[in-house]
A and B are shown apart, each in its own frame.
Chain A
Amino acid sequence: MRSRTLVFLAALVALGGIAASAQAQSLTVLLPSEFANLDPVEILSGDQTMVMYHVYCRLYTFNDDMEPTPDLIAHESLSADQRTWTLKLKRGARFHDGTAVNAEAVKYTIERMRRKGGSQRVLFQAISEIRTEGEDTLILTTQKPFPSLRNSLAHPNAGLVSARADAALGDRYGVQPVSCGPYAFKEWTRGTRIVVVRNDAYHGARPTYDQIGFQFVPEVTTRLFMMQRGQADIALRLGPAEARQLEGAKGVRLLRIEGRNIFYQLNLALAPTSDPRVRQAINHAVDKTAIIQRVLQGAGAPARSVIESMLWGHTAVGTWAYDPEKARQLLREANAVGARVVLLSPENRYLLDSQVSQAVAGYLKAAGLTVDLRVIGDWAGYIDAIKKKDFNLYMLGWGGSTGDPDQVLQSIFHSRRAGALWNLGAYVNKDVDALIDAGASTFDETRRRRIYADVQKRIFDEAPWLFMYRVTSFTAVGDKVKEIHTLQGPEFHYVFPLAR
Chain B
Amino acid sequence: MASSIPGPGTPSPPPAPRGRRARLPATGRVGLGILAVLALVAAIGPSLTLDPYAQDLARALEGPSRGHWLGTDQLGRDTLARLVAGSRLSLLIGVGATLFGLVLGGSAGVVSGYAGGRLDGAFTRIVDMLLTFPGVLIALMVVAVAGTGVTNVLLAVGLRAVPVFGRVARASTLVARERDSVTAARALGASPARILVRHIAPTLINSIVVLAALQVATAILVGATLSFLGVGVPPETPEWGAMLNTGRRYMLQHGQLIVYPGVAIMLTILGINLFGDGLRLALDPRRTRGVLLEL
Q: Which of A310-364 contact B (CB under 8 A)?
A: 347, 352, 354-355, 357-359, 361-363
A377 at interface, CB cutoff 8 A: yes
> Taking A355-B246, A359-B55 as contacts, is the C-beta distance between A245 and B75 under 8 angstroms?
no
Chain A residue numbers with a CB within 8 Å of B234 are 373-375
Is the pair B57, A365 in contact by a Cβ cutoff of 8 Å?
A: no
A125 at interface, CB cutoff 8 A: no
B205 at interface, CB cutoff 8 A: no
- A100 CB → nearest B CB, Å: 47
Chain A residue numbers with a CB within 8 Å of B251 are 221
A81–B84 Cα distance when bound, in Å, is 73
A220 at interface, CB cutoff 8 A: yes
Q: Which of B131-155 contact A (CB under 8 A)?
A: none
B249 at interface, CB cutoff 8 A: yes
Is the pair B252, A295 in contact by a Cβ cutoff of 8 Å?
A: no
Is the pair B253, A359 in contact by a Cβ cutoff of 8 Å?
A: no
Is the pair A294, B252 in contact by a Cβ cutoff of 8 Å?
A: no
State which of A245, A287, A361 has its C-beta within 8 Å of the C-beta of B57: A287
A101–B223 Cα distance when bound, in Å, is 55
A461–B55 Cα distance when bound, in Å, is 29
Is the pair B246, A362 in contact by a Cβ cutoff of 8 Å?
A: no
Q: Which of A217-251 contact B (CB under 8 A)?
A: 219-221, 224, 241-242, 245
Chain A residue numbers with a CB within 8 Å of B252 are 221, 224, 241-242, 245
Q: Which of B16-38 contact A (CB under 8 A)?
A: none
A215–B236 Cα distance when bound, in Å, is 30
Is the pair A347, B230 in contact by a Cβ cutoff of 8 Å?
A: yes
Is the pair A362, B253 in contact by a Cβ cutoff of 8 Å?
A: no
- B49 CB → nearest A CB, Å: 18
- B56 CB → nearest A CB, Å: 9
A371 to chain B: closest residue by CB: B236
A144–B242 Cα distance when bound, in Å, is 55
Chain A 242-285 near chain B by CB (<8 Å), digits 1 or 0: 10010000000000000000000000000000000000000000
Is the pair B235, A241 in contact by a Cβ cutoff of 8 Å?
A: no
Is the pair A295, B75 in contact by a Cβ cutoff of 8 Å?
A: yes
Chain A residue numbers with a CB within 8 Å of B60 are 294-295
Chain A residue numbers with a CB within 8 Å of B248 are 219, 221
Chain B residue numbers with a CB within 8 Å of A357 are 235
Among B57, B58, B248, B250, the most chain A Cβ lie within 10 Å of the Cβ of: B57
- B59 CB → nearest A CB, Å: 9
- A125 CB → nearest B CB, Å: 38
Chain B residue numbers with a CB within 8 Å of A219 are 248
Is the pair B246, A291 in contact by a Cβ cutoff of 8 Å?
A: no
B63 at interface, CB cutoff 8 A: no
Chain B residue numbers with a CB within 8 Å of A24 are none
Is the pair A290, B230 in contact by a Cβ cutoff of 8 Å?
A: no
A143 at interface, CB cutoff 8 A: no
Chain B residue numbers with a CB within 8 Å of A375 are 230, 234-235
Is the pair B57, A359 in contact by a Cβ cutoff of 8 Å?
A: yes
A242–B230 Cα distance when bound, in Å, is 22
B76 at interface, CB cutoff 8 A: yes
By DSSP majority rule, is chain A's interface helix, strand, loop, or mixed?
helix
Chain A residue numbers with a CB within 8 Å of B98 are none
Chain B residue numbers with a CB within 8 Å of A220 are 249
A77 at interface, CB cutoff 8 A: no
Chain A residue numbers with a CB within 8 Å of B76 are 294
Chain B residue numbers with a CB within 8 Å of A359 are 55, 57, 75
A245–B250 Cα distance when bound, in Å, is 13
A374–B237 Cα distance when bound, in Å, is 12
Is the pair A355, B253 in contact by a Cβ cutoff of 8 Å?
A: no
Is the pair B75, A293 in contact by a Cβ cutoff of 8 Å?
A: no
> Taking A290-B57, A294-B58, A375-B235 as contacts, is the C-beta distance between A362 and B249 under 8 angstroms?
no
B53 at interface, CB cutoff 8 A: yes
A295–B253 Cα distance when bound, in Å, is 12
A361–B234 Cα distance when bound, in Å, is 12
B74 at interface, CB cutoff 8 A: yes
Chain B 55-92 near chain A by CB (<8 Å), digits 1 or 0: 10110110000000000001110000000000000000
Chain B residue numbers with a CB within 8 Å of A366 are 55
A242–B75 Cα distance when bound, in Å, is 19
A287–B75 Cα distance when bound, in Å, is 12
A374–B231 Cα distance when bound, in Å, is 10
A365–B60 Cα distance when bound, in Å, is 18
Chain B residue numbers with a CB within 8 Å of A363 are 55
Is the pair A354, B55 in contact by a Cβ cutoff of 8 Å?
A: no
Is the pair B235, A358 in contact by a Cβ cutoff of 8 Å?
A: yes
A366–B53 Cα distance when bound, in Å, is 10
Chain A residue numbers with a CB within 8 Å of B246 are 355
A372 to chain B: closest residue by CB: B234
Chain A residue numbers with a CB within 8 Å of B75 are 294-295, 355, 358-359, 362
A361 to chain B: closest residue by CB: B236
B55 to chain A: closest residue by CB: A362
A374–B230 Cα distance when bound, in Å, is 11
B77 to chain A: closest residue by CB: A362
A347 to chain B: closest residue by CB: B230
Q: Which 7 A-B pairs have the closest CB atoms?
A: A362-B55, A290-B57, A294-B57, A294-B60, A375-B235, A241-B253, A241-B252
* Interface positions of B (Cβ within 8 A of A): 53, 55, 57-58, 60-61, 74-76, 230, 234-236, 246, 248-253
CB<8 Å pairs between A and B, sample of 7 = A241-B250, A290-B58, A295-B60, A295-B74, A295-B75, A355-B249, A358-B75
Instruction: List 15 additional A-B contacts (Cβ < 8 Å) besides A241-B250, A287-B57, A354-B235.
Output: A220-B249, A224-B252, A241-B252, A241-B253, A242-B252, A290-B57, A294-B61, A295-B75, A355-B246, A358-B236, A359-B55, A359-B57, A362-B75, A362-B236, A375-B230
